[in-house]
Structures are given as C-alpha cells and as structure tokens.
Amino acid sequence: MLNERYLKDERTLIGEIWQSGEIYENMLIMADEIGSRFPGTASEKQAQEYMVEKLKEYGYENARAVPFNYYGWKRGPVTLEMTEPVQREFTAISLAMSPGGIVEAGVIDLGTGSPEEFEAVDPEDVKGKIVICSSATSPTGKRVHRRTKYGYAVKYGAVGFIFMNHNPGQLAPTGSLRPSYKMGGEIPGIGVSLETGLLMLRLAKGKPMKIKFTDKSQVIPDSESANIVAELPGETDEWIVVGGHYDGHDISQGAMDNLSGTTVTMELARVLKPYEGKFKRGIRFICFGCEEIGVTGSTCYVADHLDQMKNTAIMVNLELGGLSFKDGMKHAAFTVYQPPEMKEWIAGFLEEVNYPTSIRTGMSAASDHWPFVMQGVPAIYMHEEPSMRQLVQGRGWGHTTADLMDKVDPRNLQEGAMLMARVLLRLATQEKKIADHTPLKKIVKHLEKTGMSKTLEIQLKWHPDSPR
Ligand SMILES: [Zn+2]
C-alpha cells in the first residue's frame, strides 16, 4: 500500500524525472564533450565547472567545489616484451598510480591473485619476479580487489605486476594500485587483455617466462582536486549525504562508472530543490572526485568534516545510478553496510512501492560510502548490475576503453532516480531517527572478525583511527 502522505509529491517527482531529458543531456555533455574527468586532466576541471554551473542553474546558490590534496598520477606509454622462452611484443596499458619504471624479470603466474593463491607459494618464489594474475573471481568464489592482489605482490617482494582481464574483447583493464590520498604505487603495474595474457601463457608452454616492460607513468605528489557539493537545507541540522563519484578512468568516458551515478545525483538535486526548508533533514548532494584512485575525494571530505559526521544521518552511495537486472527483469538492488536494521527499512520501503527487489548486507571498502562507514555513519548503496544480454561478468565494461555512453541506458537511470527520489523523500521527512551510528570499536571488531582488516592492511588502507 502506497503511503498517502507521499502520494502527491511522488507523482510530481516521478513525472518531473520521466518527462525531463536532463539526465541524458548531462550525460551527453559530460561523456562526449568533456570526457573522462580523470584526476589531473583538463576534463576533470571542465566537469567540475559544468556541475557547479548546472547545480546553480537548478537553484543551488551554495553549489561549490570543495578542494583537497592528493597524490596525482599521469599515464605514460607502456611497452611489453617477452624475452624468454620466445621473443614477442604485446600491447599493455599502465595501471593507475603505477610509479613507472623499467622492469625485466622472470614471471610467476598466480592465477586470480587471491590471498589463498599467494599463501600457497613460497614467498622466495615471488621475490624479484613479475606477478601475473587475472581479475577473475578467486577459486574460493570470492571477488578479490585488484589493490589486494597488488598489495600481496609488493609484500612478497615482486618487482612488477601484470593484471589480466578475465572478460574477453581484447580489453586491457586499468584500475588503481594504491590509495592516492596517501601514496603512489611502489612497483610498476600494467594491465593486459584476457587474449594477450592467455597468449603469453600459451607461448611460455609451461617453461620459465621472462618479461621486460617499460612504463613511463608518473606519480605527482601535491595535486589538487575537488568534490562538488550542493546543499538543500532542512528544518534541523541533521544531514543526509547522497552522491557518487564523477571521475572516470582516463582510458574511457567512465559512462557507467560513474557518470551514471553522478547524473542521477544531479537529477535528484534538481527535482528536490522545491522542498528546500520543508524536510526535517537537509540533503547534501556530493559528486566526489578521485574515487577511481583509491576512494580519495570522499576520504578527504570526511577527514575535513569530522565534526559533521555525528549530524550525518545516513550516507546513500550512488556508484552506478540505475536499476539492476535479475532473471531477465529489472529490480531495485540495495546493499546495507550498517547498521543491519537498515535492511528492514529498505524492505519496508520496497514492499510499499512494489518493486522486485534484492537487498544484501555486507561490507566493502571500494567506494565512497567507506570513509563515512568508518565514522559510524549509517550507509546504503543502490547498485546496478548489467543485463545478462551484455555477456560480461563482474566489473564488465568498467575500467576498460569500452565504458562509453552506448553502454548506458538513460531510461534506466531515470528509473533509478525515480526510486531514489522516493527513498530520499522518506529519509528526509521521517519523524523518528533513521538509524543509530555504529561505534568505532564495534566496526573494528566486525572487520577483524570478517578478515577485512587484514585485506585493508595489505592494501595499506587500514587506519581505523584516522580517515586518511
Ligand atoms: Zn566507480
């Protein structure tokens, strides 16, 4: 049963979103005209200016770029050559935050590069070698983040890192190696397509393989980027933070990841503007910078606004902005990070609005909710999974040259925005507290129990007492 209280407002909001071409227009401009928005590029600056201007046009006089410092990175060309047992050249690209350099060494194939696969070999066999591993799900069924695989390679004394895509299509993957809010990578890392990686392994025929690669990329300390913030004040000093990252990887348009979440955030800001001062809680719309190089913009934002965390009622992360596909049908998919009680809230909402749904609980450090989670802030995530028609798994087209506008369905983003507007309407107006903050002690205990603290240690992202 639809809640009568919201009926009229929801009809207005849904109609406004469905009739408007803003999401599509913003996507076209930011993807096709502006470009990747990768940290440190001209397109990043242009995108920041465009978003601030657009939000002002939507009526947000307070729309602004909030700067932060980080370790920047500039991509350089890569050459890759097998020298033993046969001589052959291949194409490869640098992985973000790779310090660059020239590496010549034997290669060790560590499968999917999971902790179990590293722990099964003698560290002496990895020392001085180049580690090759793929982005596939580990043999134990877990999806292990690239930064964990790289962390193990560094810990075991490898001198280079080759990351192979597990999806076909001759697409070399990119992705960051270290959190740019505190450091660059220690050893050079490059990405190769599935086809290239498999060819290399076939050519070696099980004999020792030697590789030489050069990477002219550079880490640039003392770089500056910015988060884009617009505020819709409420009746109290409690705030809801909603948003996603606007930066994409430099090799593509980052259309799915994450222009989709960015344009949905902007759309929500647009349609909710008439409610200024009318909701119990204010809404802070944030498009984060530098997420792709270690969740940096949101981490710096939290570090610079620690005093506001207790007034942050919830963080809603829009990493990808649309609805998901499951069993050939669109459905709303949410992840609840904390506290677990938020699951009931979402279940109640989805039942009311009558959407096919899936709700997960879990923890992940690989997106902008994370620094808020570590401050105890309740956090949820609306995720989008690709249709089976796209024949890709896991990250899919993300982090490859194929993440362009044609992979995004703007109508699906409108539906995502419609659903999220209804979520925000309820979160912003509900009389009782949304959820309790989680004490740090409890978070740390949970992360230790699940082994996630160990993973974060390997990634050099375990610093529970300080945001950055
Ligand atoms: Zn992303």
* CA 207 to centroid of ligand 1, rounded, Å: 38
Of 104-108, 317-321, 392-396, the poorest mean pLDDT is in: 392-396
- How far apart are the C-alpha atoms of 344 and 327, rounded to whole Å? 24
Over residues 118-135, the mean pLDDT reads 97
User: What's the distance, CA 136 to chain centroid?
Assistant: 18
- How far apart are the C-alpha atoms of 174 and 92, rounded to whole Å? 10
Q: Which residues keep their CB under 5 angstroms from ion ligand 1? A: 257-258, 319
The reported pLDDT for the residue numbered 386 is 61
Which pLDDT band holds residue 394 (cuts at 50, 70, 90)?
low
Would you tell me which CATH number, out of the four given (3.40.50.300, 3.80.30.20, 3.40.190.10, 3.40.630.10), belongs to the domain 4-72+221-458?
3.40.630.10
Query: With contact defined as beta carbons under 8 Å apart, do 401 and 252 qualify?
Result: yes
Which pLDDT band holds residue 388 (cuts at 50, 70, 90)?
low
* CA 37 to centroid of ligand 1, rounded, Å: 12
Over residues 453-458, the mean pLDDT reads 97
Nearest to 287 by CA among 368, 364, 232: 368
pLDDT over 90 at 408, yes or no: no
Q: Which residue has the higher pLDDT, 358 or 129?
A: 129
- How far apart are the C-alpha atoms of 152 and 156, rounded to whole Å? 6
Which pLDDT band holds residue 387 (cuts at 50, 70, 90)?
low
pLDDT digits (tens, 9 = 90+) for 136-170: 999 999 899 999 999 999 999 999 999 999 999 99
Which pLDDT band holds residue 78 (cuts at 50, 70, 90)?
very high
The reported pLDDT for the residue numbered 384 is 75
Cβ neighbours, 10 Å, residue 24: 16
pLDDT digits (tens, 9 = 90+) for 204-222: 988 999 999 999 999 999 9
Instruction: Report domain extents, the chain.
Output: 4-72+221-458, 76-216
The reported pLDDT for the residue numbered 327 is 74
The reported pLDDT for the residue numbered 402 is 86
Which pLDDT band holds residue 357 (cuts at 50, 70, 90)?
confident
The encoded tokens of residue 146 equal 């690239």
Over residues 392-414, the mean pLDDT reads 82
CATH code of the domain occupying 76-216: 3.50.30.30
pLDDT over 80 at 1, yes or no: no
pLDDT over 60 at 185, yes or no: yes
Q: What are phi and psi of 350, to 5 degrees?
A: -65, -30
Over residues 40-66, the mean pLDDT reads 98
* CA 296 to centroid of ligand 1, rounded, Å: 12
The reported pLDDT for the residue numbered 206 is 87
* CA 120 to centroid of ligand 1, rounded, Å: 31
* CA 438 to centroid of ligand 1, rounded, Å: 25
The reported pLDDT for the residue numbered 434 is 97
Average pLDDT, the chain: 94
* CA 182 to centroid of ligand 1, rounded, Å: 19
